Amino acid sequence: MVRRKAKKESFFVPILIGLLIVIGFGFTYKHFENKIEVNQRTGCPISNVDQRSALSLLLDSSEPYTPVQMSNIVNRIQNKVNSLKSYDRLRIYTIGVAEEELLVPHFDFCKPDPESAESPLMRNWKAGNFEQRLRDTLGLMQGSRDNSHIITSIGSVASELPDSYDERTIIIVSDLVENSNIGSMYSPNWQEALSERNSLLDARRPMLGGIRIEILFAPRANAGIDFRRVRDWWMTFLSDSGGMVARIDPISG
């Protein structure tokens, strides 16, 4: 009886060890199979195959927003960022001159993966760093500039969104008052002036094919501007440029 029991145990031990080895290999394979190689600076996937959705924010800092507008805008943006998935790319730009060089984003990071294979300490640091940089960058909206090159800025942002992404979205935060060498919407006859300069407008037209456009429309206290007419012109212009204008939300205050 003792020998038979010992013989059974001698068979059981190697089977158990073999089973543990198989399970260990399974976990290791799953870990490396799901591991995504990322750029150490941006936290974004290096391979185009692993690229997810991309969201670009274009912020108008030509004039200050009211405190109420600023609060509403930040809340809307934060909700949008919270809805992003791991490794979705977020870029934030401010409207500027983009005729000779592309705009440089103030923020260019992918949303960290809370379930990555890194240590809990590193995961927490990346999540905190992402949120802190986001808050700091949103503070750049408050500015004061004479010109507002919205049309060429949109074109610059769109050029950085290749169709290798599953989904591409641009959120424009602005009063939509173009004031550049293309034309100035501060002029009472700005629509007629833009029509007369149609060739220049077409040369600067952004290529928005397949890009989703959302607008946080924040009119400023500019006397003499019919913001409804400005909004309607942009809706037509962006659609004619190939953009899918999904929504335009007024931000009052």
pLDDT digit string, tens, across residues 239-249: 999 999 999 99
The pLDDT assigned to 29 comes to 34
pLDDT tens-digit map of 111-162: 998 888 788 888 898 889 899 999 888 887 777 677 889 999 999 999 999 9
Q: What is the mean pLDDT of residues 204-217?
A: 95
Read out DSSP for the chain?
A: -HHHHHHHHHHHHHHHHHHHHHHHHHHHHHHHHH---B-TTT--BSSGGG---EEEEEE--SSPPPHHHHHHHHHHHHHHHHTPPTT-EEEEEE----SSSPPPPSEEEEPP-TT-SS-HHHHHHHHHHHHHHHHHHHGGG----S-B-HHHHHHHHHHT--TTSS-EEEEEEE----BSSS-BTTSTTHHHHHHHTHHHHHHH----TT-EEEEEE-----TT--HHHHHHHHHHHHHHTT-EEEEEEE---
Q: Where are the domains of the chain?
A: 1-34, 48-250
Q: Which of 2-16, 102-116, 127-141 has the lowest mean pLDDT?
A: 2-16
> What is the token pair recorded at 152?
């060429």
Rounded to an integer, what is the distance from CA 235 to the centroid of its chain?
21
The pLDDT assigned to 122 comes to 85
Q: What is the mean pLDDT of residues 1-29?
A: 47
The pLDDT assigned to 184 comes to 92
The pLDDT assigned to 222 comes to 64
pLDDT tens-digit map of 79-93: 999 999 999 999 999
171 neighbors 58 (Cβ within 8 angstroms): yes
- pLDDT confidence tier of residue 178, bands split at 50, 70 and 90: very high
Residues of the chain above pLDDT 70, percent: 85
Q: How many CB atoms lie within 10 A of CB 16?
A: 10
The pLDDT assigned to 33 comes to 39
Alpha carbons within 13 angstroms on the beta-carbon side of residue 218 total 27
The pLDDT assigned to 30 comes to 37
Q: How many CB atoms lie within 10 A of CB 79?
A: 9
The pLDDT assigned to 77 comes to 93
- pLDDT confidence tier of residue 197, bands split at 50, 70 and 90: confident
pLDDT tens-digit map of 20-79: 444 443 333 333 334 788 888 898 888 877 778 999 999 998 888 888 999 999 999 999
Tell me, what amino acid is at 62? S
The pLDDT assigned to 27 comes to 36
pTM: 0.82
48-250: which CATH topology? Rossmann fold (3.40.50)
Q: Which residues pair with 45 in a beta bridge?
A: 38
